[in-house]
Every structure is written in C-alpha cells, then in structure tokens.
Amino acid sequence: MSKFKKFCKAIAVILVIIMLAVIVLTVGINTLVWLSSKDRILDEEEAVNLENVDCIIVLGASVKHGDTPSLMLSDRLDKAIELYKAGAAPKIIMSGDHGSKYYNEVQVMKDYAIKAGVPSEDIFMDHAGFSTYDTMYRAKEIFGAKKVLIVTQKYHLYRSIYVAKKLGMDASGVAAEEIRYHGQTKRDFREIVAVDKDFIWSLFKFKPKFLGDKISLDQSGDVTNDQGGDIIKDTE
C-alpha cells in the first residue's frame, strides 16, 4: 500500500472516530436534558396546584401577515390563557422576536391574550426573546422571576425547563395541545442541535446580546408596551 493510500485510510479512520464521538456526545446531552426535565412537565391540574409561581412564560413563534399568530403560537397562547384564568400564576410574560419595526411577535401575543380576556396590566412583553436561552436568561435577570411555568410544545419544553433551571429558576412546564404541525420533522432535528447549544450556553451562563433595565413583575405589564425601540435592529 502506498504512503498516500495509508494517509487517506488514516484520515478516514480519524473522521469516523470524530463523527462517532459527536453522535455519542449529542445523544448523551439530549438524554441528560430529557431526564432532568421530564418530571417537571405537568398537566393543567398539577400546574394550578403549584404555589407561589411568579409568572407564566410563553415562548414566541412565527406570526402571519404581521398580526396573526401561527397555529403553533396560538396553541401556546390558548394554553397559557387557560392556565392564567385557572389561577396558575398572576402574570404572563410574552417573550418573542421584536427584532424589526416591521415584525413584532410579542405585541401580537399580547393582543391575542387581551382579546381572550386577560387584563393588559397582567401581560409583560419581552421584546428581546430571540431564542429560548435569551428568554430564560431575561426572565430571571430582567424580570426577576424565580418560580416560573413555561408554555410551549412538548418537544420544546425539555430544553426550556432545563435552561431555566440551570439559570437558577424553579421551572416547570405545561405542553400546548399535542398536534403534529407541518414541518415538525425538521423542527425535531433542529431541536437536537439546539439542545446541545443551550447545554453549553447554560453551562457557561453566557449573557444575551440584549439585556436592559430591570422590570418588576409587581408593577403593571403595560410598562413594557412599546419598549422594543431600544433593541430593534436596523432594517432600513
């Protein structure tokens, strides 16, 4: 066998070993996150019976035509509204992407909840919830939340709860309705990678790009109205 062929064979072996190591590490991290969070996923009755919950956190998702929640997002909002009305928590944080003056998930989320009968003053908007990690970091550091109830789809809850716990909050979650949304297979694969990323970020507790002044949940949520201006990206 020539030296070149031996070299190629050695490179191939090294690449296979690296690939296997990445797979093992990815599976290991995802399993750890799942095991550490699965017992914190509650049904509605269990969630309502929790004591001293500071707020319900609703994680943002896409909106259509600028003012209509996607099906995935409306399912999250419906579950959060149901929990709020049942007395699970006195406040709701709507956390999502307000990264452009032309795109404002959190305002759409708040408007939806108000139309469903939730008082405006009980709804806070986190305009810089650009990722799950950012949302949880800001919930603790900006809004001062200590005990939270997270609402999103179940596949997303494991990571959300894990990050919140690692950042120092007492976190539980309730899953939105079990629906297989269009494009869910792609989301499932993307979630595997996102778990690895947020595992590392939670380990080192990296600060999000956008923080800002502290906002007490004891005051009216209306203080967060139209507060996206300081964090809006320049899209012009």
What is the rounded average pLDDT of the residues 24-45?
A: 96
Does residue 233 fall inside a structural domain? no
**In degrees, to the nearest 5, what angle opens at C-alpha 97 toward C-alphas 85 and 228?**
90
Number of domains into which the chain is organized: 1
Does residue 236 fall inside a structural domain? no
Residue 228: the pLDDT is 54
Q: Is the pLDDT at 230 greater than 60, yes or no?
A: no
**Residue 217 near residue 199, CB atoms below 8 Å:** no
Does residue 68 fall inside a structural domain? yes
What is the rounded average pLDDT of the residues 62-87?
A: 94
Tell me which of 6-20, 32-46, 72-86, 107-121 is least confident.
6-20
Does residue 95 fall inside a structural domain? yes
pLDDT band at 58 (very low <50, low <70, confident <90, very high): very high
Residue 227: the pLDDT is 60
What is the rounded average pLDDT of the residues 118-146?
A: 97
Does residue 144 fall inside a structural domain? yes
Higher pLDDT pick, 50 / 187: 50
Does residue 51 fall inside a structural domain? yes
What is the rounded average pLDDT for all residues in the chain?
91
Residue 42: the pLDDT is 98
Give the pairing of strands 55-59 and 147-152: parallel
Tell me which of 38-42, 153-157, 181-185, 194-198 is least confident.
181-185
Q: Is the pLDDT at 161 greater than 50, yes or no?
A: yes
What is the rounded average pLDDT of the residues 70-98?
A: 97
What is the rounded average pLDDT of the residues 56-66?
A: 91
Does residue 235 fall inside a structural domain? no
Which residues constitute the domain of residue 116? 3-228
Q: Is the pLDDT at 234 greater than 60, yes or no?
A: no
Does residue 148 fall inside a structural domain? yes
Higher pLDDT pick, 177 / 87: 87
Q: Is the pLDDT at 43 greater than 80, yes or no?
A: yes
Residue 177: the pLDDT is 85
Q: CATH code at 46?
A: 3.40.50.620
